[in-house]
Structure 1
Amino acid sequence: MGIIINALSIVSGSVIGSLFKESIRLKNFTVLAISIMIISLVGFFENIFDIYSMTLKSNELLVVVFSLIIGTVIGDTIQLENRVSNISSLSNKGFSNLIDAAIFFAVGGLQICGPILLATVGDNSQLILKSIIDFPFALMFGVSYGKKVLLSFIPVALGQVIIFLLTLLSKTFFNATVIKQLCAIGYIILFFSGFNLICESKYKINNVNMIIGIFVILFYNVIIKLWR
């Protein structure tokens, strides 16, 4: 359900934006950015803070922080964000607009963690949150590029379905600890997405590089399970 909702948010936003482009003005994303940052902080602490004992889960916090650092270093070394950005420059202008939109919606922490959470515990919350965030940006892309950007839902939904199915095949691997670690790092990446919306370009954080941190967490937990 969450995957369908996310696809519909992109399609509807793109269509509405393209049809009413003369009357829609989306220039100030400050409120949206602050909302994203607040939601991200709440989600992050929810996953690394034990509300019953009122203490931080120090082991999980360390795993998340070190995975994020290592992942960011790897992403920066292989220039992940630059490579992703350069994809659209390889195609013609009309098609590059579609690729820009697809990359924006398909690259992020919730894009990966959302389907994992859905497959493991049937929780749609991260995908619904992603849908709420994606809708105003789909409006913006619709206003700027026209309704052709609605096709960007295809790679987004396809990627989510693939992650969902792969997670189902290895469901026993994703215990509560792994899920909380993945959710925590997903919310950190989302936080910096909001942060970048209200910052000058010279202060922006390359949060795309942080996505590698998700795979570092998965690799770490695979090693731990094999070791045991």
Structure 2
Amino acid sequence: MIGTIVNTAAILAGSGIGACVRKGLGERYQDALYNAMGLAACGLGANAIVQNMPKSSFPVLFIISLAAGSFLGTMADLMGRFERLTKRFSKGNLGQGLSTAILLFCIGTLSILGPMESALRGNNTYLFTNATLDFVTSLVLASTYGIGIALSAAVLFLWQGSIYLFSGALSQFLTEELLTEISLVGGFLIFSSGLSILKIKDCKSLNMLPALFIPVLWFLLKP
């Protein structure tokens, strides 16, 4: 699990450095970072959509996933619960930043295939690459939202650790087709998170999180 440990440490380090930088920034510069982070999230989300949509074998599945997932997440009020929880530990809109961080760090091919490659082949290349990207991202996010972004490191460790432990069983199920559908839906979630940061539209991205499990359910049930 050395790759996952390095990835987690990279997020903690980036969050610590970013939080220190944030203390010296005025409101005008913090606003500029909000805009930069929003645009970056939109760009990363759009890139995931453009890359995976042509490869999708089920063109309507992402629509069903987003609709059903949003309905279930809104019913459970995931965003509201998450925001109330984060407000106990920090002032401001940490919930928005933390939800964006979790989506960026956990929903991606490197973060899913990386632990499997590490467990099955001893290859940590994916995770080391992911660690570099997450270090930079966590630094920018923490310089915008504060040290609370470091909490996403715990989520990433549990996420990648679970995949690592169950990689033998998951390798038979996580086909390229399924990863394409998950990445496509994930791209929309990251893009919606960017729109929320830019205050264009509050999509309540965390309420849409169950959408990621609809493709998994579809692949389990389809003949």
Measured against the shorter chain, the TM-score band is 0.7 to 0.9
2:13 corresponding residue in structure 1? 12
- Deviations, residues 73-108 of structure 1 (Å, cap 9, x unaligned): 11111211112222234x4xxx456xx579436642
- Whole-Å separation in 2 of the counterparts to 1:42 and 1:21: 28
Number of corresponding residues: 206
Q: Is the 8 A contact 2:98 2:149 kept in 1?
A: no
2:135 aligned with 1:140: no
Gaps of 5+ in 2: 119-125
Q: Which amino acid aligns with 2:181?
A: Q
Q: Secondary structure at the match of 1:84?
A: helix
Seq. identity, %: 18
Gaps of 5+ in 1: 51-56
Assess, with a 3 A threshold, how the Cα gap between structure 1 residues 105 and 83 changes in structure 2: closer, same or farther.
Answer: same
- Deviations, residues 36-60 of structure 1 (Å, cap 9, x unaligned): 212321221211215xxxxxx4x43
- Whole-Å separation in 1 of the counterparts to 2:161 and 2:74: 28
RMSD across aligned positions (CA): 3.1
- Whole-Å separation in 1 of the counterparts to 2:190 and 2:153: 19
Query: For 1:26, which of 30, 33, 48 is the aligned residue?
Result: 30
2:114 corresponding residue in structure 1? 118
Assess, with a 3 A threshold, how the Cα gap between structure 1 residues 190 and 126 changes in structure 2: closer, same or farther.
Answer: farther
- Deviations, residues 116-140 of structure 1 (Å, cap 9, x unaligned): 2324567557776555433211223
Q: Secondary structure at the match of 1:192?
A: helix
Per-residue deviation at 1:14?
Answer: 2.9
Within a 5 Å distance, the mapping from 1:80-99 to structure 2 comes to: 80-89=78-87, 91=88, 95-96=89-90
- Whole-Å separation in 2 of the counterparts to 1:180 and 1:121: 18
- Whole-Å separation in 2 of the counterparts to 1:32 and 1:126: 18
1:190 corresponding residue in structure 2? 190
Assess, with a 3 A threshold, how the Cα gap between structure 1 residues 44 and 149 changes in structure 2: closer, same or farther.
Answer: closer
Per-residue deviation at 1:160?
Answer: 2.8
2:51 aligned with 1:46: yes
Within a 5 Å distance, the mapping from 1:53-92 to structure 2 comes to: 57=56, 59-89=57-87, 91=88
Q: Is the 8 A contact 2:70 2:207 kept in 1?
A: yes
- Whole-Å separation in 2 of the counterparts to 1:210 and 1:2: 29
